[in-house]
């Protein structure tokens, strides 16, 4: 049996393809129309809406809520002021990442944390004597992502407070007569917002946004377009770019925060903040024991085209994400890493990837060879390391 989100009546009516997938037990649209590129370009050139309700959502409240989260989350939640949001993660005792998510600070003693996988039992088992209460509100809260360069215009027309909303901040607003929270967050790497509303108000929120967006080229977009955008944005996906340390078979399938590119969250670690995994992370920093660095890759387009042409083939330019491992080699054919997500970027007009390379080869511009299959044979094509995010428009944070 599958679940449907509060937006489902509108999602189903717009889904011309009838293509669906499951996300945390919910039915979600793969794409609404025959070409997912229309939806992708709505994100990049106009405005798109995405039903992200299936995210697990946990409300933390109580006098010790900040203290509790400060001891669990690796990023220092004490630096997140009321009305701000943090992208964050949490680790096990050995410093391996369990999961990532976004936390919204709604008040001094109230936080909303999202995650892609269920974590209620994990957090509940850590409470001890802390005065903190955890409630799962996944079914009570509907979430609509409004993403793209015209998203601000659409939402400002409905809720003037949005115009002044800074990157990774949130505000209470009234949208279409409905009380909501709007955060300047998203999973596309573009200018964008997420609307958090009571489940009973979901349809009125959808209708208000879609009606206002009609003159701005608004389209609903599905999973495929979202996953295209997130690769360009360098945003990691659990079970694709990393695995939860709780479910990994061995350490080859576990990752540390530094190996995933989260080192920027850990600069200036407070020695007095004993969050889970802090000793292992500090040791990794001090002893420089990271096995990998998460980087972007850009494939040499000329070498790619020539490789296929010499094989008697038309060079494919497939924008559909490929989420499997592609080995990386140096010029001596020694393995130096692997790519986890690969696609042809419509915006960058290049084949791109998210990849892990040895730390000594993580400098921008470093040459590596990407292994691909041509005519049923392994071939290597030139690529170079690039800084993430690969697509990073100024409007995202402006």
Summarised one tens digit per residue, pLDDT across range 276-293 is 999 999 999 999 999 999
Longest dimension (CA), the chain: 68
Give the pLDDT of residue 178.
93
Average pLDDT over residues 154-168: 97
Q: How many CB atoms lie within 10 A of CB 160?
A: 11
Average pLDDT over residues 213-232: 98
Average pLDDT over residues 163-178: 95
Which of 188-192, 265-269, 356-360, 384-388 comes out lowest in average pLDDT?
A: 265-269
In the chain, where are the structural domains located? 8-55+139-221, 56-129+256-290, 293-395
Average pLDDT in the chain: 97
Q: Take residue 21 and report the two structure tokens written for it.
A: 């997938």
Q: Where are the beta strands (DSSP E) in 211-349?
A: 219-220, 293-299, 326-329, 335-345
Q: How many CB atoms lie within 10 A of CB 335?
A: 11
- Taking the C-alpha atoms of residue 20 and residue 32, their distance in angstroms, rounded to an integer, is 9
Cβ distance 47 to 213 under 8 Å? yes
Q: For residue 1, is pLDDT > 80?
A: no
Average pLDDT over residues 284-303: 97
**Please, which pLDDT band fits residue 164 given cuts at 50, 70 and 90?**
very high
Average pLDDT over residues 150-158: 98
Q: For residue 199, is pLDDT > 90?
A: yes
Average pLDDT over residues 34-59: 97
The CATH-assigned architecture of domain 56-129+256-290 is 2-Layer Sandwich (3.30)
Give the pLDDT of residue 45.
98
Give the pLDDT of residue 268.
80
Domain 8-55+139-221: which CATH class?
alpha beta
Backbone angles phi, psi at 372, to 5 degrees: -130, 170
- Taking the C-alpha atoms of residue 221 and residue 29, their distance in angstroms, rounded to an integer, is 8
Give the pLDDT of residue 267.
86
Average pLDDT over residues 186-200: 98
Q: Where are the beta strands (DSSP E) in 189-306?
A: 192-198, 219-220, 293-299
Higher pLDDT, 129 or 308: 308
What Å distances lie between residue 13 and 82, 200, 219, 249, CA to CA?
38, 18, 13, 42
Q: How many CB atoms lie within 10 A of CB 308?
A: 17
pLDDT, tens digit (0-9, with 9 covering 90-100), for 71-106:
999 999 999 999 999 999 999 999 999 999 999 999
Average pLDDT over residues 61-77: 97
The CATH-assigned architecture of domain 293-395 is Beta Barrel (2.40)
Give the pLDDT of residue 397.
97
Number of residues in the chain: 398
C-alpha angle 25-31-37 in degrees, rounded to nearest 5: 145
Q: For residue 154, is pLDDT > 80?
A: yes
Residues paired with residue 97 on neighbouring β-strands, in sequence order: 91
Backbone angles phi, psi at 297, to 5 degrees: -130, 140
Query: Which of these, 32, 22, 28, 21, lies nearest to 7 by C-alpha position?
Result: 28
**Please, which pLDDT band fits residue 194 given cuts at 50, 70 and 90?**
very high
């Amino acid at each position: 049996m599958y679940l449907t989100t509060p937006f489902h009546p509108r999602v189903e009516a717009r889904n011309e393809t009838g293509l669906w997938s499951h996300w945390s037990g919910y039915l979600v649209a793969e794409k609404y129309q025959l070409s997912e590129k229309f939806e992708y370009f709505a994100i990049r050139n106009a405005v798109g809406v995405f039903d992200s309700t299936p995210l697990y959502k946990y409300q933390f409240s109580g006098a010790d809520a900040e203290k509790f989260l400060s001891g669990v989350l690796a990023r220092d939640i004490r630096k997140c002021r009321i009305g701000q949001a943090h992208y964050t993660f949490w680790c096990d005792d050995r410093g391996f990442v369990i999961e990532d998510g976004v936390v919204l600070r709604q008040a001094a003693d109230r936080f909303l944390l999202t995650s892609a996988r269920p974590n209620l039992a994990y957090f509940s088992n850590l409470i001890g004597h802390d005065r903190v209460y955890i409630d799962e509100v996944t079914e009570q809260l509907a979430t609509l992502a409004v993403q793209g360069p015209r998203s601000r215009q659409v939402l400002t027309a409905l809720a003037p407070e949005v115009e002044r909303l800074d990157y990774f901040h949130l505000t209470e607003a009234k949208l279409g007569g409905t009380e909501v929270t709007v955060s300047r967050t998203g999973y596309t790497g573009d200018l964008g917002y997420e609307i958090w509303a009571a489940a009973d108000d979901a349809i009125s929120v959808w209708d208000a946004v879609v009606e206002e967006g009609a003159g701005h080229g608004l389209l609903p977009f599905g999973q495929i377009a979202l996953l295209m955008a997130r690769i360009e944005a360098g945003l990691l996906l659990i079970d694709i770019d990393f695995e939860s340390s709780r479910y990994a078979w061995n350490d080859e399938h576990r990752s540390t925060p530094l190996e995933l590119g989260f080192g920027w969250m850990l600069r200036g670690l407070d020695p007095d903040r004993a969050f889970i995994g802090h000793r292992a992370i500090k040791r990794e920093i001090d002893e420089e024991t990271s096995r990998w660095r998460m980087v972007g890759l850009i494939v040499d387009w000329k070498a790619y085209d020539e490789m296929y042409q010499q094989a008697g083939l038309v060079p494919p330019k497939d924008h559909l994400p490929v989420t499997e491992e592609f080995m990386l080699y140096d010029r001596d054919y020694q393995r130096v890493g692997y790519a986890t997500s690969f696609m042809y970027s419509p915006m960058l007009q290049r084949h791109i990837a998210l990849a892990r390379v040895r730390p000594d080869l993580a400098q921008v511009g470093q040459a590596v060879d990407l292994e691909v299959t041509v005519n049923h044979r392994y071939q290597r094509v030139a690529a170079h390391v690039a800084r993430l995010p690969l697509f990073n428009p100024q409007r995202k944070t402006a």
